[in-house]
């Protein structure tokens, strides 16, 4: 069970969490959009300066290499990928550059990433940007930030160098990802604190993420995952664009297989004395039914919640399962995602 003080503070105002272990790739060159359009699941050609999207890089067999947030900034495209994947994803994408004017650089470590969430996130971010710009009020206003569309991104000049502000709503709350030059990471966090934002611990951030039903790559999704199994296709895949690696498998499953996959990611509520570990077995009638991928105590529901994969015929909400824990078997029930719906 977590101390929910920080969690409640984020729901009432603004909270931030450092995500600087994530990978950052910068793509430059006149052909950057057309090249990434051919490689990724999303319609990158449709991105104008200041717009972004959520997408993925797949193998030819439709399995995930990485998910990513993709931001067209006018002079470059920034790719945000899971921790430890910056170099590998940059190298994989670079393998297929031939005559195109495209330069891919793994800039992990050069950028720090801070996520700010909560109903007061826009005001806190605006105030922090103004402080980092020496009071000059650089960047969008609090009203502009609050009215942002998903994955809108802007470059903002500050005394510590230009940073990227991207609007994200992935944890059920208004939010912003701030990509700041690594030396400016500490001043950015201090500016957010001065603006009234609280720093979230890992448990509070995980509670928000899991309650929102947002799967994390290398946690709830792996290189064996097909996007349809994780239920991310509606937000990660364009079904109107041209070809990309893995498209044939995705279309075949959707059109010929009716979208049926062997397993699906579901939400779970768990009646157990302790939070189950990642990989805990789910059972139905004593037979293997799936695995838990992440779990946490939910302050909103006052019970343990989890994400996990179950056999497709056991995925409908309300299905009763057993879960193996360190304390023995307990009861788990499948739930629709998000587990907690917020305005």
- Quick one: 203 and 119 in the same domain? yes
6 vs 200: CA distance, rounded Å: 6
Contact (Cβ atoms closer than 8 angstroms) between residue 61 and residue 249: yes
The answer on pLDDT for 1 being more than 80 is no
In a domain? residue 254: no
In a domain? residue 235: no
- 189's enclosing H/E stretch is helix 185-194
Contacting residues for 199 by C-beta, under 8 A, at least 6 apart: 6, 15, 16, 17, 18, 189, 192, 193
- Quick one: 198 and 129 in the same domain? yes
In a domain? residue 151: yes
The angle at the Cα of 202, spanning 16 to 64, to the nearest 5 degrees, equals 95
Tell me the mean pLDDT in the region 145-172: 91
How does DSSP assign 209-254, residue by residue? HHHTT---BTTTB-TT--HHHHT-HHHH--SSS---TTHHHHHIII
In a domain? residue 94: no
57 vs 257: CA distance, rounded Å: 22
* Predicted TM-score (pTM) of this structure: 0.96
The neighbour count for residue 166, using CB atoms within 10 Å, is: 24
In a domain? residue 175: yes
Report how many helices (DSSP H) and strands (DSSP E) the chain contains, helices first.
10, 17
Query: How high is the pLDDT of residue 138?
Result: 60
275 vs 273: CA distance, rounded Å: 7
Buried b (16+ CB within 10 A) or exposed e, 169-181: bbbbbbbbbbbbe
CATH number at residue 151: 3.30.1360.120
- Quick one: 191 and 122 in the same domain? yes
In a domain? residue 149: yes
Q: Tell the burial category of 274 from Cβ atoms under 10 Å away from its Cβ (0-12, 13-18, 19+).
A: middle
In a domain? residue 64: no
CATH number at residue 342: 2.40.30.110
Overall number of domains in the chain: 2
Q: What digits encode the pLDDT tens for the residues 104-118?
A: 999 999 999 999 999
The answer on pLDDT for 245 being more than 80 is yes
Mean per-residue pLDDT over the chain, rounded: 95
Q: What digits encode the pLDDT tens for the residues 179-198?
A: 999 999 999 999 999 999 99
Q: What digits encode the pLDDT tens for the residues 295-342?
A: 999 999 999 999 999 999 999 999 999 999 887 899 999 999 999 999
Range of the domain at 150: 5-19+111-210
Listed residue (289, 297, 278) closest to 339, CA to CA: 297
- Quick one: 187 and 267 in the same domain? no
- Quick one: 153 and 15 in the same domain? yes
Peptide bond into 338 cis (omega under 30): yes
Beta-bridged to residue 16, according to DSSP, are 116, 199
In a domain? residue 237: no
């Amino acid at each position: 069970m977590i101390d929910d003080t920080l969690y409640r503070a984020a729901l009432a105002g603004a909270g931030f969490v450092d995500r600087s272990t994530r990978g950052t790739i910068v793509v430059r060159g006149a052909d950057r959009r057309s090249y990434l359009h051919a490689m990724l699941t999303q319609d990158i050609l449709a991105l104008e300066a200041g717009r972004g999207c959520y997408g993925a890089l797949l193998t030819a067999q439709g399995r995930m290499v990485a998910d990513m947030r993709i931001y067209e900034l006018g002079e470059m495209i920034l790719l945000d990928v899971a921790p430890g994947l910056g170099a590998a994803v940059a190298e994989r994408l670079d393998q297929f550059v031939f005559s195109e004017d495209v330069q891919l650089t793994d800039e992990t470590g050069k950028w720090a990433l801070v996520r700010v969430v909560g109903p007061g996130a826009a005001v806190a971010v605006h105030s922090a940007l103004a402080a980092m710009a020496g009071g000059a009020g650089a960047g969008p206003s609090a009203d502009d930030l609050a009215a942002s569309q998903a994955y809108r991104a802007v470059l903002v000049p500050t005394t510590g160098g230009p940073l990227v502000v991207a609007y994200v709503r992935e944890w059920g709350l208004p939010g912003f990802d701030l990509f700041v030059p690594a030396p400016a990471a500490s001043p950015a966090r201090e500016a957010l604190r001065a603006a009234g934002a609280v720093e979230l611990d890992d448990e509070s951030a995980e509670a928000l993420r899991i309650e929102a039903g947002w799967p994390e790559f290398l946690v709830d999704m792996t290189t064996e995952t097909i996007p349809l199994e994780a239920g991310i296709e509606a937000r990660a895949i364009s079904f109107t664009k041209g070809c990309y690696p893995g498209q044939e498998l995705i279309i075949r499953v959707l059109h010929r297989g009716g979208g049926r996959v062997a397993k699906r990611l579901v939400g779970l509520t768990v009646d157990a004395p302790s939070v189950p570990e990642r990989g805990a077995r789910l059972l139905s009638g004593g037979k293997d039914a799936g695995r838990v991928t992440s779990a946490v105590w939910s302050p909103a529901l006052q019970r343990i919640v989890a994400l996990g994969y179950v056999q497709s015929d056991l995925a409908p909400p309300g299905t009763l399962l057993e879960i193996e824990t360190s304390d023995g078997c307990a009861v788990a029930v499948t739930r629709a995602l998000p587990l907690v719906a917020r305005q």
